[in-house]
Homo-oligomer: A and B are copies of this chain.
Amino acid sequence: MRTPKPGPGYNGPTRGAEDAALERIGVSLAAQFGPAPPGELWFGDDAAVIRIADPRLVVATDIAVAGVHADLALLTEEDLGWRAVAATVSDIAAMGARPTHLLSSLCVAPDTDLDGLCAGVAAAAGVWGCIVVGGDLSRSAVAMASITVLGTLEDNPAEALTRSGSRAGERIFVTGPLGSSAAGLRYLRAGELAEGPSAAAIEAHRRPRARVEEGLAARRAGASALMDISDGLLLDLDRMGRSSGVGIVIESVPVDPEATVEEALSGGEDFELLIVTAHPEALLTAFKSAGLRPPVPLGLCTNDPLERLLDGARFEGRGYQHEIG
């Protein structure tokens, strides 16, 4: 972590390109997040020091690579930064935790808009209440944002919600319609402008939203399992089924009006949450009292761990997988 803030001795002529960039970033972060409280130390030294209220710390990390996670012919560096943060915050939300602090390691190629990348990271961090406390910066052949988010289980004594807590007979819900992000990518590839009916889908692709309040509400309501849909509904449901040792029967899938059924089933990156619960009424009540859109029934968990049914036919866990040997 090397984000020097301007010290009292800053004056000399020896600033390199990296230190100058880091200083510019540090000034911008200080303007957004303000000074650290006494006893804490944010960006500006070898490491950050923060104070944690609950000893149960939730941590997640995610990478977004240009050309893999975001096509910079269609999206901006600001989008890339935002998307990296959204994906990582979503991992925290998927435990029923609240994100609190963020570290951001950025790689920039010669033609990368570093300020845009930083702006996207900082804007998304702000939306979900994360303080950016540190980071690193490197050149590279491709632009990349590696994000780490810390979160808290707050004062709720319940444990974090895993993907392995589902039990046979429990109901599966999803926090909203699926396929928006994939539809947005299709519109962008077709050269659609961000206006008219495609605008919401394009926005969903460029600036996805993590469902933090929904995850907290699910945990408050005594849900059994929680997972975010990052790589595609069928793939992530299959992962949850494997992890919990349960079968999955899908009864209905809420599809975004702009999306195809296939986009809803395997598109991924909507970051809606899958919630499994033995207490559907409590879940609906908790969402209502939190002012959240009601979760949508999706299906149920069954006894046979190999069962994977959609419209009465077996489904495979298709979705996005990196080609890694």
Contacts and interface: CB of A to CB of B under 8 A. Distances in A.
Nearest to A90: B46
Contact of A59 (B4, B101, B318): B101
A127 B82 CA distance: 35
A162 B227 contact: no
Interface string A1-23: 11011011111111011110100
Contact of A323 (B5, B17, B68): B17
A63 B7 contact: no
A35 interface: no
Contact of A7 (B5, B18, B244): B244
A42 to B, nearest CB: 10
Interface string A85-106: 0000011101101000101110
Interface in A244-286: 244-246
Contact of A305 (B9, B63, B159, B308): B9
A28 interface: no
Given A49-B95, A138-B322, A1 B62 contact: yes
14 contacts: A7-B243, A7-B245, A12-B238, A12-B306, A12-B308, A17-B323, A39-B159, A44-B164, A46-B95, A47-B59, A47-B95, A57-B57, A60-B134, A114-B324
Max chain B CB contacts within 10 Å: which of A56, A305, A321? Answer: A321
B50 A59 contact: yes
A57 B52 contact: yes
Contacts of A92: 46-47
A55 B308 CA distance: 44
Interface of A: 1-2, 4-5, 7-14, 16-19, 21, 39, 41, 44-53, 55-63, 65, 67-69, 90-92, 94-95, 97, 101, 103-105, 107-108, 110, 114, 133-142, 144, 146, 148, 150-151, 153, 159-160, 162-164, 226-228, 230-231, 235, 238-239, 241-246, 305-306, 308, 316-318, 321-325
B65 A138 contact: yes
Given A61-B136, A65-B139, A68-B138, 8 more contacts: A2-B231, A9-B306, A11-B242, A14-B317, A21-B324, A44-B164, A62-B136, A141-B142
B65 A47 contact: no
Contacts of A94: 46-47
B52 A58 contact: no
B52 A105 contact: no
Given A108-B324, A144-B107, A321-B19, A242 B164 contact: no
Nearest to A59: B48
Contacts of A14: 238, 316-318
B1 A91 contact: yes
